[in-house]
């Protein structure tokens, strides 16, 4: 049984301009000890998917489908039951630490909070644990820095502190949302190395628009476009044999492959294109692509693609 199995997940936001279909019928599984990368352009629904798993979307969101975690449907749990899972069993490392670190609370306190809540540690033990966690994420002088405030930490150190918070209760599943975004290349590589080390055991959904980083960390990669998955395969297969024209375009936009951008822009999630959602930008378009919405098809063992060229 998979640790996490997402079935037919939809997350729609009703807005004044119409319904934003941010996550549109996503199926995805994560096994124990597996690291799955979720990649795609900004605005394609990655963060919303992560928030849906954590049940952190605003109450007005229309959510459908199932999110099976260890055999339980997270969407059916009460808020009280969900609170016991958040942080303890499933933890999220959020994009953009400044918004998620509380500026008026000491870093150590923010790490200790969840271990006191979930592991029943007393104040002293929780503080010791916080020091240990800062050490684990390689923050020097951790016994001193544990008593500092977020503004005393550099960007890279804030990200490390977020990772320490995420890992403090030893969760079975980590959802890491772009933990390397906005960091300069040296710091980025340090964080990647750290994420690899600290998640050697346990499962992870690693959200990123950086394929290079995903390649370093993930066993499998799911490619998301306009709210749905369009390709899923082992990381090496995504690189060696990308099948979906969008995945190929995404790869070609990497600096190592010539920085060639995909033409056009991502579609509005309020007014999605008919047929294949990628057809207005696709170089292999055929008439049928304009009207027919393709299903995910397994083309090779473990390699799924949503494109009418295949099957």
Contacted entry of Mg ion, ligand ADP, none for residue 44, CB cut-off 5 to 8 Å set by kind: ligand ADP
Cβ atoms within 10 Å, residue 109? 17
Question: What does R_g of the chain's alpha carbons equal in angstroms?
Answer: 20
With helix as H, strand as E and coil as C, how does 49-113 read?
HHHHHHCCCCCCCEEEEEEEECCEEHHHCCHHHHHHHECCCEEEECCCHHHHCCCCCCHHHHHHH
Helix (H) or strand (E) holding 38: strand 35-39
Shortest CB 288 distance to ligand ADP, Å: 27
Stretch that binds ligand ADP, among 15-23, 114-122, 128-136, 192-200 (CB under 6 A): 15-23
Helix (H) or strand (E) holding 208: strand 203-208
Which residue has the CB atom at the shortest distance from ligand ADP?
47
Given CA atoms 157, 159, 160, 164 in this order, what sign does their dihedral have? positive
Contacted entry of ligand ADP, Mg ion, none for residue 20, CB cut-off 5 to 8 Å set by kind: ligand ADP
Find tokens 């473990």 and name the residue: 302
Stretch that binds ligand ADP, among 37-45, 211-219, 254-262, 280-288 (CB under 6 A): 37-45
Stretch that binds Mg ion, among 9-17, 30-38, 47-55, 132-140 (CB under 5 A): 47-55
- For ligand ADP, the closer of residues 22 and 67 by Cβ is 22
- What's the burial of 107, exposed, middle or buried (CB within 10 Å: 0-12/13-18/19+)? buried
Stretch that binds ligand ADP, among 12-20, 163-171, 181-189, 244-252 (CB under 6 A): 12-20
Contacted entry of Mg ion, ligand ADP, none for residue 94, CB cut-off 5 to 8 Å set by kind: none
Number of residues that bind Mg ion (CB under 5 A): 2
Range 42-71, binding ligand ADP (CB under 6 A): 42-48, 58
Shortest CB 49 distance to ligand ADP, Å: 7
Q: By CB under 5 A, is residue 47 in contact with Mg ion?
A: yes
Range 253-292, binding ligand ADP (CB under 6 A): 269
Range 216-255, binding Mg ion (CB under 5 A): none
8 A C-beta contact, residue 46 and residue 177: yes
Q: Which of 3, 4, 9, 22 is close enough to bind ligand ADP by CB under 6 A?
A: 22
Find tokens 């990628």 and name the residue: 278
Contacted entry of ligand ADP, Mg ion, none for residue 15, CB cut-off 5 to 8 Å set by kind: ligand ADP
- For Mg ion, the closer of residues 237 and 250 by Cβ is 250
Stretch that binds Mg ion, among 16-24, 39-47, 79-87, 300-308 (CB under 5 A): 39-47
- For ligand ADP, the closer of residues 62 and 291 by Cβ is 62
Stretch that binds ligand ADP, among 35-43, 137-145, 149-157, 238-246 (CB under 6 A): 35-43
Helix (H, G, I), strand (E, B) or coil at 277: coil
Q: What is the DSSP string of 102-169?
A: -TTS-HHHHHHHHHHHHH---HHHHHHHHHHHHHHTT-TTHHHHTTS-GGGS-HHHHHHHHHHHHHTT
Helix (H, G, I), strand (E, B) or coil at 35: strand
Shortest CB 95 distance to Mg ion, Å: 5
Q: How far apart are the first and last CA of the chain?
A: 28
List interacting residues with Mg ion (CB under 5 A).
Answer: 46-47
List interacting residues with ligand ADP (CB under 6 A).
Answer: 13, 15, 20, 22, 40, 42-48, 58, 269
């Amino acid at each position: 049984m998979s640790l996490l199995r997402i079935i037919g997940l939809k997350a729609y936001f009703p807005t004044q301009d119409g319904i934003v279909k941010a996550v549109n019928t996503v199926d995805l599984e994560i096994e124990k000890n597996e690291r799955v990368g979720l990649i795609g352009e900004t605005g394609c629904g990655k963060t919303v998917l992560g928030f849906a798993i954590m049940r952190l979307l605003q109450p007005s969101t229309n959510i459908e489908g199932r999110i099976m975690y260890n055999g339980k449907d997270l969407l059916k749990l009460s808020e009280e039951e969900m609170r016991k899972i958040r942080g303890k069993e499933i933890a999220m490392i959020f994009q953009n630490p400044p918004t998620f670190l509380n500026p008026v609370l000491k870093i150590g306190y923010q790490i200790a909070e969840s271990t006191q809540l979930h592991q029943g540690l007393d104040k002293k033990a929780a503080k010791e644990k916080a020091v240990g966690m800062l050490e684990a994420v390689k923050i020097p002088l951790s016994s001193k820095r544990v008593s500092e405030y977020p503004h005393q930490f550099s960007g890279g150190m804030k990200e490390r502190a977020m990772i320490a918070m995420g890992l403090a209760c030893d969760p079975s599943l980590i959802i890491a949302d772009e933990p390397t975004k906005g960091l300069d290349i040296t710091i980025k590589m340090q964080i990647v190395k750290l994420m690899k080390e600290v998640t050697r055991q346990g499962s992870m959904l690693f959200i990123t628009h950086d394929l290079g980083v995903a390649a370093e960390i993930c066993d499998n990669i799911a490619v998301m476009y306009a709210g749905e998955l369009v390709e899923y395969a082992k990381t090496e297969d995504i690189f060696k044999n990308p099948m979906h024209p969008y995945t190929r375009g995404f790869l070609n936009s990497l600096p190592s492959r010539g920085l060639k951008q995909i033409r056009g822009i991502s579609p509005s999630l309020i007014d999605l294109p008919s047929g294949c959602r990628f057809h207005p930008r696709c170089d292999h378009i055929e008439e049928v692509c304009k009207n027919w919405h393709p299903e995910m098809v397994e083309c090779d063992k473990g390699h799924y693609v949503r494109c009418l060229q295949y099957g």
